[in-house]
Amino acid sequence: MSVPSFSLGEDLLGRAAKRRRSRSARVASWDHTGLNEDAFIVMPGETAVLADLEGPGAITHLWFVQGCRVILGPGLFDARQAGTAMVEFNNALGYNWEVNDPDYYRKVVIKMYWDDQEHPSVIAPLGDFFGVGNSMPARFQSMPFTVSVKDDSERVYGGPAAFNCFLPMPFNRRARIEVENQGEHPYVQYFYIDYELFAEDLPDDTLYFHAHWRRNNPCNGWGPDLQVNSLETQLPNLDGKENYVILDTEGAGNYIGCVHTVNHFTSTWWGEGDDMIWIDEDFNKDGTTSWPPSMHGTGGEDYFSHGWGMQKINYPFQGTIIHEEDVPGLQIHYRFHLADPVRFNERIRVTMEHGHGNHLADDWSTTAYWYQTLPAPRLDILPVEQRLPRKAEGPSMKDLPTVDRTTLTLERQRMHAQRDARMADFTAQRDEWFERRAIESRERAVKNKEFAAEVRAKFLANANR
């Protein structure tokens, strides 16, 4: 009996009721010694390989939980004896004094490579890839992505959160997933990467998963001080040349949507910009575009399947992650074309006006998701200093006055000196702990590749009997 290995043409629920000639497996950050230090430590400037898999196969699920602690003061324990990656006592209790780096979701970059391609097919800040725009997590549930956050961490810059992605990611020869820590502090990464192995090569019509993050900060608006929907903004846009570009790629494939983050500056409305998508024959031989595009919409909220502004919804294919009523000036939302993929055979350009006729000059960023043929387009990403989120900040330690210790009493000077000494000892312990864990993480990455190869060899030997 011939049992096929790979097909995405089945409905989601029916897949579980059909036999396949495949084998499920996982790579994860688990502690190979059997203890509970179940996380990778990625040092500043370092890239960690989370998965290096031989195919044919398909990644079916990603689960990521992470943190990046900034130590503000010494804790009351030996950091080298910590059984977990982060201490979660409330800072008010006096046992520890540490917070998450508020920017680290933009400083850590996720990359994915398929079939030994030289350049990544996925490159995005870790948070933005999973729907955390502006380094501010908020809970939401869509069909391809979910984010869960504790109540006290919701809409907090750098707040701890759990990420899931259920988009299938096929590969024929090899899959490699990496995270690069471009920040200044050690980074903690827990993860599951679930996948299937197949006995035969992927069908010729298989497309490969891609994702790319972009940002215009700000967009090049011609009248940012003009009120949205005012008479002065009513000028025609009949070429789309100044639109914000969500995706521009060559090849054949399916665009499946984006997450869109807006920092709006004028206390009016960020929308009223039409979506315009050029496909295949819409492009002239010299690369210019014809008019109108194959797909022309009626407004920003309309493309994201809302209406009369943005609603506070989480639906499978469209919704709001953060609403501007809850965080003034910040709107994060998604639209996924899984039921209605936008298909192209040669080239696609997905764009949107920033304000009607592109008059607004807000801070926009997007993560676009699509499947296409290989070789992959060459994707790049802005340097870390240009990715940092725009934050509305309240009082912080940066606002503290500087104290001249020489003017203090001897008792008060002694308290400062005691704190400095404890901080030096605690930092040294913490650094020692991080270095040990980072070495073990590198060793684990190598061993995970070996484990995956062993699983594949056993599966192929059994499948070929």
Rounded to an integer, the average pLDDT of 453-463 is 93
**How many domains does the structure of the chain reveal?**
2
Together in a domain, 334 and 462? no
Question: Does 51 lie in the same domain as 188?
Answer: yes
Residues 54 and 88 in one domain: yes
The pLDDT of residue 317 is above 70: yes
Distance CA 376, CA 289 (A): 23
Task: Please compute the mean of the pLDDT values over residues 234-240 and round it to a whole number.
Answer: 95
Looking at the domain assignment, is residue 263 inside a domain? Answer: yes
Mean pLDDT of 109-116: 97
pLDDT in tens, 15-29: 777 888 899 999 999
- Tell me if 410 is assigned to some domain: no
Which of the residue ranges 50-59, 350-359, 455-464 would you say has the lowest mean pLDDT? 455-464
Does residue 86 register a pLDDT over 80?
no
Range of the domain at 167: 23-207+422-465
User: What is residue 91's predicted lDDT score, i.e. its pLDDT?
Assistant: 84
pLDDT of residue 1: 42
Q: Are residues 232 and 284 in the same domain?
A: yes
Q: Which residues pair with 223 in a beta bridge?
A: none
Q: Which residue has the higher pLDDT, 267 or 463?
A: 267
Instruction: Verify that 216 and 332 share a domain, yes or no.
Output: yes
For residue 335, being part of any structural domain is answered with yes
* Residues 231 and 191 both lie in one domain: no
Q: Say if 7 falls within a structural domain.
A: no
Mean pLDDT, the chain, rounded, equals 93
Q: Tell me the pLDDT tens digit for each residue of 118-143.
A: 999 999 999 999 999 999 999 999 99
% pLDDT > 70, the chain: 96
Round to whole Å and give the CA distance between 232 and 423: 59
Residue 84: predicted pLDDT: 66
Residue 258 lies in a domain: yes
Residue 312 is assigned to a structural domain of this protein: yes
Query: 378-394 pLDDT, tens per residue?
Result: 999 999 999 999 998 88
Considering the domain architecture, whether residues 188 and 279 belong to the same structural domain is answered as no
Query: Where residue 172 sits, what CATH number does that domain have?
Result: 2.60.120.1390
Q: Are residues 213 and 277 in the same domain?
A: yes
- Does residue 326 form part of some domain? yes
259 and 281 together in one domain: yes
Same domain, 120 and 201: yes
* Residue 317, φ and ψ in degrees, nearest 5: -115, -5
User: Of 296, 243, 299, which Cα lies nearest the Cα of 269?
Assistant: 299
Q: Is residue 412 part of a domain?
A: no
Tell me what pLDDT residue 13 has.
Answer: 73
Q: Which of 372, 390, 414 is the last residue of a domain?
A: 372
User: Are 184 and 199 members of one domain?
Assistant: yes
Q: Is 81 found in the same domain as 150?
A: yes
152-210 residue pLDDT tens:
999 999 999 999 999 999 999 999 999 999 999 999 999 999 999 999 999 999 999 99
